[in-house]
Structures are given as structure tokens and as C-alpha cells.
């Protein structure tokens, strides 16, 4: 299927590793030019060098801390300067950790939404004025099943992802008249370094061995296995494509059937 992405420009946050990196590769494979961004300049540069380009597609990198609104503005500006414009924003940056409610003190609470939501908002804030002028655009927000299903020790995960899903619908309605299609992808338990960290954290928080945590989590997946980053990336690439021209304000789960609702 020709995704019609040749000549399009995508900005992928969280692009230095895991799912973000796989998304960058999938978009490059379809012929899009890609700007990857992440906080750590060394890791980002190493990823940029590792990504392979197809045909005339190019990949560039700009480091940015999404907690800093000025840095986000500069990141968007750098993308426009590099490619002349951009068409696709993929919000894939954010590492939300599970936490015990008692640890979420008055002082800790404001930082909770810095783990994902606020970075997404800043990227949207600076990308939208540009995307609005193009007559064609895509925004894809990576969320998580935690946004649909609450857990006792997953409050930060749940709140950030629920907010991202809600925000996705609002921005979708806002941007539909400009032919900028906004959607969410909802992955769950994807086999990445980040997933290993989550497993370790959950083991610490529950006092259970990591192997037990892993086994319990995998048992809940109807497909019986973790997802691969590429399996999320292919869905993001489709939603970014010309072929998803009537998909608006939707959340496509890529979760191996994990979500209990439908």
C-alpha cells in the first residue's frame, strides 16, 4: 500500500529509542523526511546515525527538553528551518512511572504531568500554528492503556494517558477543519528498554520478584506475548499516511487485546 508519505516531513519526539525510534524508521521507510528529537544529544545522534534512509528521505536530529517551552519552540523552528516545513507531528516522548499514592505529595504533584502530558501540550502549542497553514497534516499522540484502566499503583500512568486521550479528541475537533487529522495510538507492554525499567519498578513497588511481575503481565495479554516497537510504528505510519484520510479523533489500540473494554 502506497502511504503517500514521500516528500512529507515528520517531527518525532522521543525518537532516540524504543517506540519513537521505530516510528522514525517506519516513516523513513515510507519516504518521509524525519526530524527526531529527544533530551539526550549523544543518544539522539547515535540513533540518527543508525536510522536508515530510503531514496531521497533524510533524517536529522535536534535535542530538546520538552519541559522547557522555549526549547520546544526552538525545536519546531529548527525542523522548519531544516526542511522548509513539516506536516506530521508524532508525540512519542514521555516516560511515566508507576508510583505509590503516598509518594505523590503536594510538592511532587505538579511534576506528575511533566512526565508526558505537558510535553505533548507544548509540542502541540508550537506545531499547530504551522500545521494549520499547510492544508494537510497529521498529529499522532502516543497514549497507553493505563489511560483507560486505572490501577492502584499506576496513578501517574493513568492520569497522563487519560489526559492525552481526552486532549486528542479536543485537538482533533479543533484541527479537522484545517485537514489536520489528529489521532491517538494506544500501545501496551511493548518490548523495549523502557518496558524493562517498568517491570523493575513494579517489582520494587509490589515487593514481588521481577520474573513474577513479567509473567503476571504477559498472562493478561490475549496474544500471549509482548508487542514489538515495529508493530506500533506501522500503525503510526498508517495513521500518518494519505490512506488514513477519514480517521479523525480516534484512538487505535495496539495492545495485543489487553484492554478490557472495547
Binding site for other proteins (CB under 8 A): 1, 3, 26, 29-30, 165-166, 168-169, 172-173, 176-177, 179, 181, 184, 187, 221-224, 227-228, 231-232, 234-235, 237-238, 243-257, 259, 261-262
At a CB cut-off of 8 Å and minimum separation 6, what does 155 contact? 98, 99, 101, 104
Count other C-beta atoms under 10 Å from residue 237's C-beta. 27
CB of 67 to other proteins, least distance (A): 26
CB 82 within 8 A of CB 126: no
CB of 222 to other proteins, least distance (A): 3
Collapse the DSSP code of 182 into the 3-class scheme (helix H, G, I; strand E, B; otherwise coil) and give the result. Answer: strand
DSSP 39: S
CB of 151 to other proteins, least distance (A): 19
Residue 210, Cβ density class (10 Å: 0-12 exposed, 13-18 middle, ≥19 buried) = middle
Count other C-beta atoms under 10 Å from residue 53's C-beta. 14
CB of 57 to other proteins, least distance (A): 14
CB of 249 to other proteins, least distance (A): 4
For the chain, what is the total number of helices (H) and then of strands (E)?
9, 7
User: Which residues are bridge partners to 113 per DSSP?
Assistant: none
DSSP 7: T
CB of 104 to other proteins, least distance (A): 26
Report d(CA 173, CA 96) in Å as an integer.
27
Using the minimum distance from each CB to other proteins, give the nearer residue, 68 or 149: 149
Amino acid at each position: 500500500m502506497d502511504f503517500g508519505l514521500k516528500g512529507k516531513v515528520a517531527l518525532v519526539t522521543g525518537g532516540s529509542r524504543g517506540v519513537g525510534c521505530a516510528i522514525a524508521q517506519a516513516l523513513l521507510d515510507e519516504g518521509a523526511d524525519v526530524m527526531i528529537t529527544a533530551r539526550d544529544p549523544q543518544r539522539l545522534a547515535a540513533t540518527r546515525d543508525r536510522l536508515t534512509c530510503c531514496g531521497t528521505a533524510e533524517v536529522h536530529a535536534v535535542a530538546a527538553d520538552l519541559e522547557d517551552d522555549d526549547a520546544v519552540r526552538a525545536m519546531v523552528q529548527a525542523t522548519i528551518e531544516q526542511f522548509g516545513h513539516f506536516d506530521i507531528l508524532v508525540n512519542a516522548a514521555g516516560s511515566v512511572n508507576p508510583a505509590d499514592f503516598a509518594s505523590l505529595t503536594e510538592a511532587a504533584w505538579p511534576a506528575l504531568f511533566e512526565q508526558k502530558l505537558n510535553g505533548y501540550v507544548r509540542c502541540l502549542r508550537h506545531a499547530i500554528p504551522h500545521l494549520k497553514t499547510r492544508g494537510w497534516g497529521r498529529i499522532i499522540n502516543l497514549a497507553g492503556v493505563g489511560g483507560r484502566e486505572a490501577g492502584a499503583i499506576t496513578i501517574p500512568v493513568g492520569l497522563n494517558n487519560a489526559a492525552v486521550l481526552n486532549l486528542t479528541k479536543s485537538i482533533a475537533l479543533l484541527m479537522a477543519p484545517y485537514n489536520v487529522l489528529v489521532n491517538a495510538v494506544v500501545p501496551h507492554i511493548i518490548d523495549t528498554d523502557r518496558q524493562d525499567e517498568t517491570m523493575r519498578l513494579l517489582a520494587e513497588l509490589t515487593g514481588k520478584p521481577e520474573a513474577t511481575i513479567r509473567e503476571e503481565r504477559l498472562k493478561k495479554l490475549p496474544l500471549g506475548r509482548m508487542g514489538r516497537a515495529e508493530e506500533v510504528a506501522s500503525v503510526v505510519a498508517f495513521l500518518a499516511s494519505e490512506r488514513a484520510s477519514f480517521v479523525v479523533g480516534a484512538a487505535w489500540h495496539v495492545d495485543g487485546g489487553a484492554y478490557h473494554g472495547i
